Amino acid sequence: MTLKLEGKTAIVTGGSGGLGSSFSLALAAAGANVGVAFIGNPAPAKALVAQIQALGVKSIALEADITDPAAVKAMFNQADTELGIVDILVNNAGIDGVRARAWEVDAAKWRKTLEVNLFGAFHCAQEALLRMVVRRSGVVINITSVHEVIPWGGYSAYTASKAGLGMLTKTLAQEAAEFGVRVLALAPGAIQTPINQSVWSDPNGLADLNKKIPMGRMGQPDEIAKILVNLASDDSSYLTGTTVFVDGGMTLYSDFSHGG
């Protein structure tokens, strides 16, 4: 049996993090070679690379600060020679940022969230698309959030970055379509990872969060990763320029479930 992503090369930014490690493993299980991009401590990325190699595909850890275009260029060049030319880019690296009202937040911290979530994704998309359009094949998947469309008090930088990434997705998709390249956004809801641990580890926080989700529970990373593999594969060959929300219904205004 041929696997869905046999022979493809994927790069996942934030590739050893909460959602990222599930993405990297699922892509590898579907047959792709995976570049695990990371910043900071190399240990989790190296451990994941070993786990991925055990599945019988190629994998390397790629260290890069995605807010720096020169570092991103160097990372893609390294992947070209050590892994293969990228077919699938997963722009997953992201930070929630500090919680503070817009008129109280430190502007440098606000800017940092935009630099990682939006500029970082842009720099990586630019390098990936340069390679994909000449080969007339490839997929860029930007991981946005339900906060692409749901405002979130205290997180104006995060919501602005994710809404921006949603529109960047559409525009890149429009530009790349004639070259046979697809660009998509995948928008998770509340998925149980370290990013929101302070909420789900507190019973009151978890109960409040669950009330915002029609399905009444948080999602698990593999519930997003399965969709990601599908979006990256030819099963989604006619899908581009749109956001796929995988959120247990979080974007459905659950307060309107009854009455109104």
Closest to ligand BGC by CB, 220 or 237: 220
- Closest listed residue to residue 72, CA positions, set 35, 34, 30, 25: 35
Closest to ligand BGC by CB, 9 or 92: 92
Supply the Cα-derived Rg of the chain in whole angstroms.
18
Residue 231 binds ligand BGC, judged by CB under 6 A: no
- The active-site residue, picked from 155, 158, 238, 253, is 158
Residue 98 binds ligand BGC, judged by CB under 6 A: no
Q: Are 143 and 92 in contact (CB under 8 A)?
A: yes
Closest to ligand BGC by CB, 35 or 188: 188
Residue 206 binds ligand BGC, judged by CB under 6 A: no
Q: Interacting stretch for ligand BGC, rule CB under 6 A, among 38-46, 60-68, 187-195, 225-233?
A: 187-195
Q: Are 30 and 5 in contact (CB under 8 A)?
A: yes
Closest to ligand BGC by CB, 159 or 233: 159
Residue 182 binds ligand BGC, judged by CB under 6 A: no
Residue 96 binds ligand BGC, judged by CB under 6 A: yes
Residue 14 binds ligand BGC, judged by CB under 6 A: no
| Cα 32 from Cα 30, distance rounded (Å) | 6
Residues 134-153 that bind ligand BGC (CB under 6 A): 145-147
| Cα 60 from Cα 223, distance rounded (Å) | 25
Q: Are 215 and 246 in contact (CB under 8 A)?
A: no
Q: In DSSP terms, which residues pair with 11 in a beta bridge? A: 35, 89
CA 42 to chain centre: 19
* Residues 6 or more apart whose Cβ sits within 8 Å of residue 66: 13, 37, 39, 72, 93, 116, 119, 120, 121, 123, 124
| Cα 243 from Cα 240, distance rounded (Å) | 9
Q: How far is the CB of 143 from ligand BGC (least distance, A)?
A: 9
> Given candidates 51, 78, 137, 196, which one binds ligand BGC under the rule CB under 6 A?
196
Q: Interacting stretch for ligand BGC, rule CB under 6 A, among 53-61, 83-91, 115-123, 190-198?
A: 190-198
Q: How far is the CB of 30 from ligand BGC (least distance, A)?
A: 24
| Cα 130 from Cα 68, distance rounded (Å) | 17
Q: Catalytic annotation on 238?
A: no
Residue 189 binds ligand BGC, judged by CB under 6 A: yes
Q: How far is the CB of 144 from ligand BGC (least distance, A)?
A: 8
| Residues that bind ligand BGC in the complex, under the rule CB under 6 A | 96, 145-147, 189-190, 195-196
